[in-house]
Amino acid sequence: MPAAPFQPAVDGGLFLGLISGTSVDGIDAALVAFDPAPRLVFGRTYPLEPTLVQEVLQRSQADANASLDDIARLDTRLGQAFARAALAALADAGVAASQVLAIGSHGQTLRHDPRGPAPFSQQLGDPNVIAEATGITTVADFRRRDVAAGGQGAPLMPAFHAAVMHSPDEDRAILNLGGIANLTLLPRQGDVGGFDTGPANGLMDAWCLRHRGLPYDRDAAFAREGRISEALLARLLAEPWFALPPPKSTGRDQFQLAWLQARLDGETLAPADVQATLCELSAATVADALRATLPGARRLLVCGGGVHNPLLMARLAHRLPGMAVSSTAAIGLDPDFIEAAGFAWLARETLAGRPGNLPSVTGARGPRVLGAIHRG
């Protein structure tokens, strides 16, 4: 998937993937040509309006109150934002809308509760608005069919990771560090595995915003000022969710500042010490989960925004001795656009009538064609 000038695809066509993850740090857009292997043609992140970011963060809190009108308006506004990002990506890439077979839009996750008495996963960003504004067939709502089939609805990237990053020579794992961290397990032989491991950037970003007024901790400067509190880390790691076996998934509505505040337990810590401890929490939960589920893994390939956090990458390597830990850039894949490219791939699978989920990952009753098609 190395970036390359646009050339018409020989087989499979051109698809556009869009996603705003749980970090809410912008809309990632990836133009992917399938000829037949996926090739990244263009990738760019487009910012969300600050007022929209604030509303998403507010509404995604577990104790947030919102009227039906609030949610409906947010759905439309996010759809408009995704449409603008799609049109900007096409203009910036010099690609006409008529050349794109479909858009795969993940949308913005607001809530995710696949284990409750009425399981659900809610993404906003009305695909009707996207299809109408771009004139391009838009595939969206990828998670809910898997949930309806008894699955977690997440993670959905393992099928794509297996298609582009499996190796017959070694057991390897793929780690996506977004707001939430998720692992894909790619053994040389056997079923693909995958699950969420817990917070990646989400808690660190929220704490940094509260205490530094910055949306994220650039180069881990804030965390490097502090020291890990082993007492706080132990209380965080005692969260029962971490001990649940796969399949499992989570979201920002679970791992939020209120969750952290309850575990500070009245302890007075310097904000930088908390930030350093949150970074260690992300590294520890990933490393513990990987050792428990694919102990023979020799390589961990990392993608997502967290790959740019040098302290988090260093702590992962420290906790996984004997394992090669690197960005997916090491094998020629841009770590910033793998997830968006994955939703382009899922749109292609949906239009072809092929399943996009892996029951071995999500726990669904079987393979399912994912998403709803909105014709352009």
Residue 4 predicted with pLDDT over 50: no
What structural domains does the chain harbor? 13-154+337-374 (3.30.420.40), 158-331 (3.30.420.40)
pLDDT for residue 65: 76
What pLDDT, on a 0 to 100 scale, did the predictor assign at position 9?
A: 35
State the pTM of this model: 0.92
Please compute the mean of the pLDDT values over residues 306-323 and round it to a whole number: 98
The mean per-residue pLDDT over the stretch 212-235 comes to 97
- Average of per-residue pLDDT across 241-245: 97
Q: Which residues contact 30 (CB under 8 A, 6 or more apart)?
A: 16, 17, 40, 42, 43, 337, 340, 341, 344
Q: What is the DSSP letter of 17?
A: E
Residue 3 has pLDDT above 50, yes or no: no
- Average pLDDT, stretch 144-149? 98
- Output the pLDDT for position 59: 85
Mean pLDDT of the chain: 94
Give the pLDDT mean for 118-131.
97
**DSSP SS3 for 345:** helix
Share of the chain above pLDDT 90, in %: 88
Residue 316 confidence (pLDDT) above 80? yes
What is the rounded average pLDDT of the residues 207-221? Answer: 96
pLDDT at 21: 81
Mean pLDDT to the nearest integer, 315-342: 97
Residue 187 has pLDDT above 50, yes or no: yes
pLDDT at 253 over 50: yes
**Predicted confidence (pLDDT) at residue 319 exceeds the cutoff of 60:** yes
Q: Is 291 a residue whose pLDDT tops 50?
A: yes
Identify whether 155 is preceded by a cis peptide bond (ω within 30 of 0): yes
> Alpha-carbon distance 39 to 34, whole Å?
6
Inform me whether the pLDDT recorded for 6 exceeds 70. no
Among 21-35, 60-74, 262-276, 310-324, where is mean pLDDT lowest? Answer: 60-74
* Close Cβ partners of 56 (under 8 Å, ≥ 6 residues apart): 24, 48, 74, 78, 108, 110
Mean pLDDT of 102-118: 94
pLDDT band at 62 (very low <50, low <70, confident <90, very high): low
pLDDT at 2 over 90: no
Q: Is 373 exposed, middle or buried (0-12, 13-18, 19+ CB in 10 A)?
A: middle
